[in-house]
Amino acid sequence: MANYTENELAKDLEDQEYKFGFTSDIDADTIPKGLSEDVIRLISHKKEEPEWLLEYRLNAYRIWQEMIEPEWGHVHYTKPDFQDIAYYSAPNQTKKYESWDDVDPEMKETMAKLGISLEEQKRLTGVAVDFVMDSVSVATSFKAKLAELGIIFCSFSEAVQDHPELVRANMGTVVPHTDNFYAALNSAVFTDGSFCYIPKGVRCPMELSTYFRINQGGTGQFERTLVVADEGSYVSYLEGCTAPQRDENQLHAAVVELIAKDNAEIKYSTVQNWYPGDKNGVGGIFNFVTKRGICGTNSKISWTQVETGSAVTWKYPSCILKGDHSVGEFYSVAVTNNYQQADTGTKMIHLGKGTKSTIISKGISAGKSQNSYRGLVQIHKNAQNARNFSQCDSLLMTDECGAHTFPYIECKNSSAKIEHEATTSKIGEDQIFYCLQRGISEEKAIGLIVNGYCKEVLNQLPMEFAVEAQKLLTISLEGSVG
């Protein structure tokens, strides 16, 4: 592999403020705040959804009303007022774009600020971008090329219209609407997201990428992503997030479902950089995500995440290793600074024989932040010869931050082999001094050391993402050593 993680670090280090903290002025079509069956009907109606989907939403809503918001995470926050959120906001776009040239100039500018100008993207090494501005996809590229291979990559709403049978057959099969509080809420009110289907035996020739973005003040986002990789297929999917700066907390409760049929492979990479709140912990995104994948025989699901944003993060990308000899992987870097809180990790559920899982988690805490790893490795009775390797490392940048590791292991088959390693270290003054003595500034030194520390995870990311992730790590830890 090319040593892309060795690329020069960001030039844009000078910019101490949240880099993507701006708001686009685009007319939005927003439903008044509040949640009720009527609001759900309205969302469904606006989106011209089939009856079964409305029923699905209402079902989820009724179940959600009976549920209690979870409190077991190692996080503290003021619970969102669910009646104070607008559940639908769509940029006022009546027509769909035929080409990038037709896209609203203001929207283009927004994308340029995000560093993903479309012109650039088109020329980039085959990245198809499905840009989700608020809740509605406004542009999709490379569709024709993908269509030739029978690959479907579109917004969730489009999929509901154009491929209802595929959506209906798969939606909710990995994360049922009854799963947890936030998944139930999402199932009731989700507005859009992405859908991807890779047909049998097809290897998707490009990285599929979606940029999510919260744009409308006070709008909660409830994204829904469904990736289905049919037998023997392969896909690498990228999800990157940025959000404008806000004073009030914004709720994000996404659901991501991955289905890897027999002999299929899904690689799902995330760079999450939502507004974390200011230095005093004011503002920032609440990120409560349910991500789960299910593996058929001989298949593989690999989650890679670089989490630098959000005020509160609560997410556990998981794998259900149902098929024999299936493989689950979780590579994670979670950075918390100032007053950020992250409770993240994974669940590896071994059901099939000879299933294997690998967990590599790197937690980096700075400021007064709290960073927790929570992982569950579950080996079921029939999972003969299952194997797991977990490594959870924590790096502390100050004396005031916290790192916590909660590894849970449940093993019901004695042939299983489970290894767990954990380390906690403080960033080395000797290392920083060594860098300074070579003329490297402290910020860059920290960037180098931290990126080196996370190398195993960064190496899992596709090239363009790896570079972006390195910059993010450096930017999010500026001025953080104490």
Partner 1 sequence: MITIKNLHASINGKEILKGLDLTVNAGEVHAIMGPNGAGKSTLASVLAGREDYEITEGSVDFDGTDLLDMDTEDRAREGLFLAFQYPVEIPGVSNINFLRTAINEIREYKGEEAMSAKEFMATVREKSALVELDPKLASRSVNEGFSGGEKKRNEIFQMAMLEPKLSILDETDSGLDIDALRIVANGVNTLKGDDNASIVITHYQRLLDYIVPDFVHVLYDGKIVKSGPKELALELEEKGYDWIKEEMTL
The residues of the shown chain that bind partner 1, judged by CB under 8 A, are 3, 5-6, 8-9, 428, 430-431, 433-442, 444, 448-449, 451-456
Strand stretches in 366-462, DSSP E: 370-379, 387-396, 402-411, 417-426
Query: Given CA atoms 80, 86, 87, 90 in this order, what sign does their dihedral have?
Result: negative
Nearest approach, Cβ of residue 441 and partner 1 (Å): 6
For partner 1, which is the closer residue by CB, 178 or 391?
391
For partner 1, which is the closer residue by CB, 262 or 456?
456
Q: Could you give phi then psi for residue 180, rounded to 5 degrees? A: -155, 170
Beta bridge partners of residue 261, listed in sequence order? none
For partner 1, which is the closer residue by CB, 356 or 362?
362
Nearest approach, Cβ of residue 397 and partner 1 (Å): 16
For partner 1, which is the closer residue by CB, 155 or 451?
451
Q: In what order do the strands lie in the sheet with 387-396?
A: 136-140, 127-133, 207-213, 234-242, 265-273, 300-307, 327-336, 356-365, 387-396, 417-426
Please state, in angstroms and rounded to a whole number, the distance separating the CA atoms of residues 381 and 351: 8
For partner 1, which is the closer residue by CB, 208 or 457?
457
> Is residue 184 within 8 Å of residue 67, measured between CB atoms?
yes
Nearest approach, Cβ of residue 455 and partner 1 (Å): 4
> Is residue 288 within 8 Å of residue 315, measured between CB atoms?
yes
For partner 1, which is the closer residue by CB, 117 or 459?
459
Nearest approach, Cβ of residue 14 and partner 1 (Å): 12
Angle among Cα 282, 285, 286 to the nearest 5 degrees reads 110
For partner 1, which is the closer residue by CB, 215 or 470?
470
Nearest approach, Cβ of residue 165 and partner 1 (Å): 47
Nearest approach, Cβ of residue 438 and partner 1 (Å): 4
For partner 1, which is the closer residue by CB, 143 or 444?
444
Nearest approach, Cβ of residue 87 and partner 1 (Å): 43
Nearest approach, Cβ of residue 5 and partner 1 (Å): 8
CA 411 distance to own-chain centroid: 29
> Is residue 365 within 8 Å of residue 402, measured between CB atoms?
yes
Please state, in angstroms and rounded to a whole number, the distance separating the CA atoms of residues 5 and 8: 8
Q: Could you give phi then psi for residue 480, rounded to 5 degrees? A: -105, -5
Question: H or E stretch including 470?
Answer: helix 463-476
Residue type, 434: Y
